[in-house]
Amino acid sequence: MAPEEFVSLGEPLSIGDFYRSSQFPETITLTDGTKMRIRKCREVLDHINSDEKPVYGVSTGFGHLENKWIPTEKQAQLQLNLIRSHAIGTGQIVPSLITQRAMILLANSLAKGHSGIELATVERIILYIQKGIIPVSYSIGSLGASGDLAPLAHVALSLIGEGEVEFNGVIQRTEDILKKIGIEPLHLKAKEGLALINGTHFITAYGLTLLEEGRNTLMHSMLAASMSIEALRATDTPFDERIADVRGHPGHIIISKLMRNMLEGSQIIASHKDPLIDHKTQDAYAIRCIPQVLGAIWDCFSYLERTLSIELNAVTDNPLVFPKTETILSGGNFHAEPLGFPIETVSMALIELANITEARIARLVSPFTPELPAFLANSPGLESGYMIAHYTVAALVNKLRGLGHPNIIDNIPVSGNQEDHVSMAMNSAVRSKEILDLSFECVIFEIMMAYRGLKLVENPPSSEIINKVVAYFDGLGVFQEDDHIIHDILQIFKKEIEENRIMQILEDSLDLPLNFN
């Protein structure tokens, strides 16, 4: 393996580096310089701690117990007690991909050389990642301040040989797995337990997954909108670059360009541009304002991407060790407010994406849409067509709107009011994944229903991209003229789209941006 293929934790990482380290854990490494930095930081911490001066979380208790002195001989027990008492998450098990990514972020932060961690502890986290030992953690328990305490404590618990892990797809006792593969549990030293749980790594992992999958959702949303435009015989005038340029928002400009590319060469659009033949001056807002709405959503993702590119390289531990000046400082880098705002912003954006998607679906099935048969039925009246498919989308959108309340505007003081303002960003992050999944499902419905609209009515050729997508689904035999079990057809669309078959067509045919900035 060439050195340039390695992902060196502790060094500046791009978001692309991070995704590569998650996909190919074997590429993760520590440079000699990083190892030296970790060792030096630990030496400084031990030197300062030897003076028997109060150092938060090293020679004192935690939270409201910060004034309780802990003698040297009990400091290792303090860390063990910390991990065991803080591993109290509940709710659903965090998906293994999120936990794996949180561990990469944790190791990267510790490797910066400001946490006082032992090198062996960082190497143990990397070993777990590379061997596919994924601690079982839980989605509820972090307040997004003082770090993701409960979720990260479950990770730390596995490092000391306790709790549970997922290994080869099966949840098992950590102790049994470590014995099976011949690994001894870690024995934590002063401050190490605190360093392992004081960070924003789970929230950041959710955010990075939201960013990655959100791009996929937005690209499919543009495809769905393009297919609806064709099925509804709408105009492409709103995507004219001159309209975007005079307003100037980056997302608006990008979306207009991508929509023009998706519709390029359409003979359907060309067929009704003649002002004397079936000409439309303006379409409904759900079509005419696609660049403004999806463009604003694009800009929300841009905000999230900028924030994550900083946070994935951040040190979010407390207290922090500064080896050059041999200083330990207590602060609040564990507070996740910088993450909470962009995650909440993207969550609202995705709900809006679902809203405008539903508005176009409503036009596809409307009995008052002259371009298509009522409810996309082959024989309206005898058949219901896709009437109830719209009901299901309406239920999805209602569910999304119920999820729209932002968690970060709430605050519940804890730890005897010592921790009197928390971000609640972990709940924001977990909720964002549900919002993402539901909004993507709405997009899948639109692709399925716009495809049907294109098949029910004889049209001139569509754009090159849409022709390829329609031909792909034709090859799967999903079009049935008469009433049928739509659920079965939906499952085919979901499978093909979720396995990136359609995204591959888009990426092979279009110059799609790899990021939002």
Phi, psi of 462 (to 5 degrees): -85, -170
* CB proximity list for 255: less than 8 A, separation 6 or greater: 222, 290, 291, 294, 295, 298
SS3 45: helix
- Alpha-carbon distance of 57 to 174, in angstroms, equals 26
Per the CB < 8 A criterion, the answer to whether 410 and 424 are in contact is yes
Per the CB < 8 A criterion, the answer to whether 217 and 347 are in contact is no
Q: Which of 19, 56, 138, 451 is catalytic?
A: 56
Asked if the bond preceding 291 is cis, omega within 30° of 0, the reply is no
Q: Specify the DSSP element, H or E, that contains 267.
A: helix 267-271
SS3 24: coil
Q: What is the DSSP letter of 420?
A: -
Report how far apart, in Å, the C-alpha atoms of 385 and of each of 360, 447, 482, 483 are: 17, 16, 8, 6
Q: Which residues of 163-174 are buried (b: 16+ CB within 10 A; e: fewer)?
A: bbbbbeeeeeeb
56 is catalytic: yes
136 sits in the region (left: phi over 0; alpha: psi -120 to 50; else beta) called beta
Tokens describing residue 10: 């502790």
- Alpha-carbon distance of 211 to 343, in angstroms, equals 9
Asked if the bond preceding 71 is cis, omega within 30° of 0, the reply is no
SS3 169: coil
Report how far apart, in Å, the C-alpha atoms of 262 and of each of 106, 162, 391, 455, 461 are: 40, 53, 28, 18, 14
- Alpha-carbon distance of 417 to 103, in angstroms, equals 30
- Alpha-carbon distance of 17 to 35, in angstroms, equals 20
- Alpha-carbon distance of 58 to 192, in angstroms, equals 9
Residues annotated catalytic, as ranges:
56
